[in-house]
């Protein structure tokens, strides 16, 4: 290569490099801007715990300013609506749980849950467990299901109308033929207290919620409503192992408003998955009775759309509506 050609080549390469650098910067938020992770529920719950852990570890990894902002209300739909309407510049993200896929089935939303957002990353999953009072005569989920077909006195405690527990037990009844009376409480905690006291016969919730009652011997577990057995309770079978084709998992994930630059979403997806592999994040989710679940954006998107279709079908069949 002659000196003239070399100078021309270097000039062209410099122009291309400058253009590429400008494009990359245009696709990512200004490093001086705060990146908000909106939690559409109050502080203190599992969504808040997961979101704050994620923000802290992302800030350490990327050296960007990630902060959590709680915007509770209407089952999480108020916070989701705020992010859907925000400028898609990469500075607004939404942390969701499985409740996000139930809301379209039970309430009128001001946003399209599938088209208003782009999937960024799945964070983790926490299988639910089915528990009965320790004095109950049933020791397997099959025994409970068969007993419910003969007796009208078996009461299931849910966390409220249109709650995750409500949807999950309705799905179990559809799949198994079980028949339970449903008592709706103002939260999963009060339902578990009544379960431990023997005022109701069964309930469903996360393993972390059940731990104190299990240790005190006031309740016993019959089944795991997730895809596999849980290491902490390896003797408890899954619903599928017990012959019932369903799962009821709580999960957490991250979305961005549609229109957010794809290069930024892909970079954030990689950063989140790296954080999920860290011992710190694994421990945070383990404390919630869950585990980190990194996956492709396409796989996460399919879980969302499949769950929405499943809960829509349950709501149509049972008539579940938000209060």
CB 123 within 8 A of CB 251: yes
pLDDT of 177 strictly over 90 = yes
Q: Return mean pLDDT, the chain.
A: 89
pLDDT exceeds cutoff 50 at 71: yes
Tens-digit pLDDT profile for residues 236-277: 999 999 999 998 888 999 999 999 999 999 999 999 999 999
| Predicted confidence (pLDDT) at residue 49 exceeds the cutoff of 70 | yes
Specify the pTM: 0.81
Count the Cβ atoms, other than its own, within 10 Å of residue 56: 17
d(CA 169, CA 34): 41
| Separation between Cα atoms, residue 37 and residue 67, nearest integer Å | 6
Model confidence band, residue 189 (pLDDT cutoffs 50, 70, 90): confident
| Closest to 154 in 3D by CA, of 183, 125, 129 | 183
The 10s digit of each residue's pLDDT in 111-151 is: 999 999 999 999 999 878 999 999 999 999 999 999 999 99
Do 26-126+250-318 and 127-224 have matching folds? yes
66-70 and 92-97 strand pairing? unpaired
Residue-wise pLDDT tens digits, 208-241: 788 889 999 999 999 999 888 988 899 999 999 9
How confident is residue 309, by pLDDT bands cut at 50, 70 and 90?
very high
Residue (of 164, 54, 173, 35) closest to 100 by Cα position: 164
Asked if 48 contacts 76 with a C-beta cutoff of 8 angstroms, the reply is: no
**What size, in residues, is the chain?**
323
Q: Which of 196, 202, 204, 194 is nearest to 165 (CA)?
A: 204
Q: With contact defined as beta carbons under 8 Å apart, do 67 and 55 qualify?
A: yes
Among the listed residues 37, 93, 92, 32, the one whose alpha carbon sits nearest the alpha carbon of residue 69: 37
Phi, psi of 39 (to 5 degrees): -105, 115
Q: Where are the domains of the chain?
A: 26-126+250-318, 127-224
Q: Which residue has the tokens 């997806």?
A: 269
CATH superfamily of 127-224: Periplasmic binding protein-like II (3.40.190.10)
Here the tokens at position 130 are: 């089915």
Report the run of H or E that residue 213 belongs to, with start and end: helix 207-215
Q: Residues 174, 317: contact at Cβ < 8 Å? A: yes
Phi-psi region of 107 (alpha: psi -120 to 50; beta: other; left: phi over 0): beta
50 contacts 284 by C-beta, under 8 angstroms: yes
Which of the four CATH numbers 2.40.40.20, 3.40.50.1100, 2.40.30.10, 3.40.190.150 does domain 26-126+250-318 have? Answer: 3.40.190.150
Q: How many CB atoms lie within 10 A of CB 237?
A: 18
> By the 8 A CB rule, do 255 and 90 touch?
no
């Amino acid at each position: 290569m002659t000196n003239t050609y070399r100078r021309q080549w270097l000039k062209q390469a410099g122009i291309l490099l400058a253009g590429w650098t400008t494009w990359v910067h245009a696709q990512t938020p200004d490093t001086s801007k705060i990146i908000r992770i909106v939690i559409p529920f109050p502080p203190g719950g599992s969504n808040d715990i997961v979101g704050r852990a994620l923000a802290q570890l992302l800030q350490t990894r990327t050296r960007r300013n990630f902060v959590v902002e709680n915007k509770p209300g209407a089952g999480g739909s108020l916070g989701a609506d705020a992010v859907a309407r925000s400028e898609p510049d990469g500075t607004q993200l939404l942390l969701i749980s499985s409740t996000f896929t139930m809301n379209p089935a039970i309430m009128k939303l001001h946003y399209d849950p599938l088209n208003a957002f782009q999937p960024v990353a799945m964070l983790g999953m926490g299988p639910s467990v089915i528990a009965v009072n320790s004095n109950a005569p049933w020791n397997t989920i099959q025994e409970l299901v068969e007993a419910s077909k003969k007796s009208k006195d078996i009461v299931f405690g849910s966390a409220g109308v249109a709650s995750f527990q409500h949807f999950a037990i309705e799905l179990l009844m559809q799949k198994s033929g079980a028949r339970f009376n449903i008592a709706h409480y103002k939260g999963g905690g009060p339902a578990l207290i009544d379960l431990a006291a023997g005022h109701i016969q069964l309930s469903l919730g996360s393993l972390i919620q059940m731990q104190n009652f299990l240790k005190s011997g006031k309740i016993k577990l019959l089944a795991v409503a997730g895809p596999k057995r849980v290491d902490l309770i390896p003797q408890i079978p899954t619903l599928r192992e017990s012959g019932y084709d369903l799962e009821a998992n709580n999960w957490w994930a991250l979305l961005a408003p549609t229109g957010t630059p794809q290069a930024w979403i892909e970079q954030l997806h990689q950063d989140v998955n790296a954080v999920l592999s860290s011992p710190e994040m694994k421990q945070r989710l383990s404390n919630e009775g869950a585990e980190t679940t990194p996956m492709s954006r396409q796989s996460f998107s399919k879980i969302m759309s499949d769950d929405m279709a499943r809960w829509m079908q349950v709501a149509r069949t049972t008539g579940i509506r938000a209060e």
